[in-house]
Amino acid sequence: MSELDVGMIGVSEGNGHPYSFASIVNGYSDDGFQVSEWGVIHDYLREKDPSEFGFDGVAVTHAWTQDEAETECLCAAAQIPNAVDDRETLFDEVDAVVVARDDYETHLDMALPFLERGVPTFVDKPLAVDPDELATFRPYLEDGLCMSCSGMYLARELDEPRANLDPYGSVELVTGTIIKDWSKYGVHLLDAIFGVLDERPEAVSATETATGRTAATISTTGDTTVQINTIGDAPITFDVDIYGSERVVHHALRDNFHAFRRTLWHFFEMVRTGEPQIPVEHTLDVLRTIIAGQQSMDVGETIPVHEVSV
């Protein structure tokens, strides 16, 4: 029996995170992945050395999704021994759960029953884009029971500026470009960028085209302006450009495996210590910024981030 038994719950359309997360912990089965729809995940897993899988004392031991056949497929691919047909079964069976679905409308319903029972819970990004729901999650974030972020918060490609921005000189502009939409995907770049900057988001001015593309300008508590553009359905793009007086560097964030692995490491550390691994104000600021950006698009005005009460 492992020191930490983890439950993997939920699945959402187009999101293979249950397969990625569970495989990073447990390793994976070639035969199991052959019958899944996640060949792209199988491909990048096969590129990794066996030493890069697993965490001491941790195993994903149970899985539940909304579809029995999907659960069985996940268990086969990620070597999960127990497929359960009722998520409530997990209340007394695991030490922690991962809500690995990114349709934020379901997060409160999926996570709250576990949090209320004191089960540490990781929730896929974005945690919530409704102020009332975010307010419900807040005490669990503060108490070290809930964690939620994009893996881009810990992207390997940003290690250098995250450790030391000084070589860039004065940074007055950071831009980010990302696929899909603001409400679900903006969190990737907000987590990444504000994981590097010392400044915090202050106000958002955002516009949306008829095709759903968003351009958001975010003022900060310092001298840096952050601009984020979403480009809808397009080839994979998770890009951050840092414009400093001494250096201008393009950072293409593509290493999902290590971003996910680092995220899981911090979640398991939270489970063991009971201490938040991501500053709570960072998490709240990022989600307030998402909400403020959406409000800005709705009303055509600049919205102060901290007017979003949570």
107-130 pLDDT tens trace? 999 999 999 999 999 999 999 999
> What gap in Å lies between CA 13 and CA 101, rounded to an integer?
8
Give the pLDDT score at 107: 97
**What is the per-residue pLDDT for 212?**
85
Determine the pLDDT at residue 210: 86
Task: Report the alpha-carbon distance of residue 131 to residue 291 in Å, rounded.
Answer: 8
In tens, the pLDDT along 30-76 reads 999 999 999 999 999 999 999 999 999 999 999 999 999 999 999 99
Averaged over 253-272, what is the pLDDT? 98
Mean pLDDT confidence for 174-181: 97
The two tokens of residue 301 are 């005005």
Topology, domain 4-151+258-278? Rossmann fold (3.40.50)
For the chain, domain boundaries? 4-151+258-278, 156-254+287-307
Report whether pLDDT(277) > 60: yes
Amino acid 81: pLDDT: 98
What does the pLDDT read at residue 65?
96
- Examine the pLDDT at 223 and tell me if it is beyond 60: yes
Mean pLDDT of the chain: 96
CB contact at 8 A, 141 and 280: yes
- pLDDT reported for residue 308: 96
pLDDT at 168: 98
pLDDT at 153: 98
Query: What is the reported pLDDT for 211?
Result: 85
Q: What is the 3-state secondary structure (H, E, C) of the chain?
A: CCCEEEEEECCECCECHHHHHHHHHHCCCHHHHHCCCCHHHHHHHHCCCHHHCCCCCEEEEEEECCCHHHHHHHHHHHCCCEECCCHHHHHHCCCEEEECCCCHHHHHHHHHHHHHCCCCEEECCCCCCCHHHHHHHHHHHHCCCEECCCHHHHCHHHHHHHHCCHHHCCEEEEEEEECECHHHHHHHHHHHHHCCCCCCEEEEEEEECCCCCEEEEEEECCCCEEEEEECECCCCCEEEEEEECCCEEEEECCCHHHHHHHHHHHHHHHHHHCCCCCCHHHHHHHHHHHHHHHHHHHHCCCEEHHHCCC
Predicted pLDDT at 88:
94
Q: What is residue 179's predicted lDDT score, i.e. its pLDDT?
A: 96
Which sign does the torsion angle of CA 149, 150, 155, 161 carry? negative
Q: How many CB atoms lie within 10 A of CB 255?
A: 16
220: CB partners within 8 A, 6+ apart: 197, 199, 200, 201, 202, 226
Query: Which is nearest to 183 in space by CA: 138, 228, 146, 249?
Result: 228
Q: What pLDDT, on the 0 to 100 scale, is given for residue 197?
A: 98
Residue 237 reports pLDDT greater than 70: yes
Among candidate residues 213, 233, 201, the one with its CA nearest the CA of residue 297: 213
Residue 48's pLDDT is what? Answer: 97
Architecture in CATH of 156-254+287-307: 2-Layer Sandwich (3.30)
- Confidence band, pLDDT 50/70/90 cuts, at residue 291: very high
pLDDT for 14 equals 87
Q: Residue 251: what are its φ and ψ, rounded to 5°?
A: -115, 110
pTM of the model: 0.96
Position 1 pLDDT exceeds 60: no
* Residue-level pLDDT at 274: 97
Residue 242 has pLDDT above 60, yes or no: yes
* Cα–Cα distance, 261 to 139 (Å, whole number): 26
Residue 199 has pLDDT above 90, yes or no: yes
* In the predicted structure, residue 275 carries a pLDDT above the cut 70: yes
